[in-house]
Amino acid sequence: MNIGFVGLGVMGRPMAGHLIDAGHALSLHRVKEASRDLVEKGACAAESAAQVAAQSDVVILMLPDTLDVEAVLFGAEGLAGALSPGKLVIDMSSISPIATKDFAARIGKLGCAYLDAPVSGGEVGARNAALTIMVGGEEEAFRRALPLFEKMGKNITLVGGVGDGQTAKVANQIIVGLTIEAVAEALLFARKAGADPAKVRQALMGGFAASRILELHGERMINRTFNPGFRIALHRKDMTLAVDSARALDLALPNVAMVQQMMNAAIALGDGDKDHSALIRTLETLAGLPDA
């Protein structure tokens, strides 16, 4: 299959690589030095998103934010100007559910199908083709895309109509963000009270408080290994999507707003490019504790 791929960052690069390994012909836009190996494996580097659209039956986007997706779709030399009827656009970015519905409607007027399919699992999941993929769109388009999703992920769910994939991803990020903050508070409490945070974590892993976040991110907090699997700046973007969507729905999500503000503080303190487990450093600063 001829596949276009736009967005070759930490997540997009291995995802595109899996599709190349599966024998698909890929046309890539935004190729940088870090993704040059994909061209060496046989992919074609395109000069614009429009060129990608012209050369591909399916186009996948993996971009940082809503404005980026809009620009690639509808900006100068964007996909929309070169899409022909029958093609499929799959947005695997994490962006606004509300904007997603608008983008899908505009692409639909061109005679093309649209899926929103954001992912969870981070860089490790992308490298191991083990991502969780949350999909919104029509059943027919989902069936068409499923063989591609299966090369990139393992837990693949058609959640509902267009925008529902993005809604599921925002819900995922709410749970992850609030749980990271809760784990950070618990370990900070243990440290301030004079207990060994590592031993406290070990004890909690055998009880009802056990979770993957306590297991993985709690260990990072204790070992101070904050190289990004998922950067605070990107998670703050997702928490902002949750806050903005809640406002549009006249919905109170007080703890979401609090964690978003904590992430704002982390970024102000210079930790935006660290892993989101580094949120504990912000709490430590508030507690007047030195870096452990």
Residue with tokens 């974590």: 201
- How far from 231 is each of 10, 26, 130, 235, CA to CA, in Å? 11, 28, 19, 6
How far is residue 87's CA from residue 175's CA, in Å, rounded to a whole number?
35
Q: Is 169 among the residues known to form the active site?
A: yes
Rg of the chain in Å (alpha carbons): 20
127, 14 in Cβ contact below 8 A? yes
Rounded Cα distance, 166 and 171, in Å: 9
Q: Which helix (H) or strand (E) holds 153?
A: strand 153-160
User: If we measure between CA atoms, which residue out of 25, 30, 41 comes closest to residue 6?
Assistant: 30
Helix count and strand count (H, E) for the chain: 13, 9
- State the Cα–Cα distance between residues 275 and 27, nearest whole angstrom: 31
**Among 87, 101, 169, 237, the one annotated catalytic:** 169
Crossing angle for the helix pair 232-248 and 254-268, to the nearest 10 degrees:
150
d(CA 239, CA 178): 10
Nearest by Cα to 267 from 243, 236, 244: 236
Residues annotated as part of the active site: 169
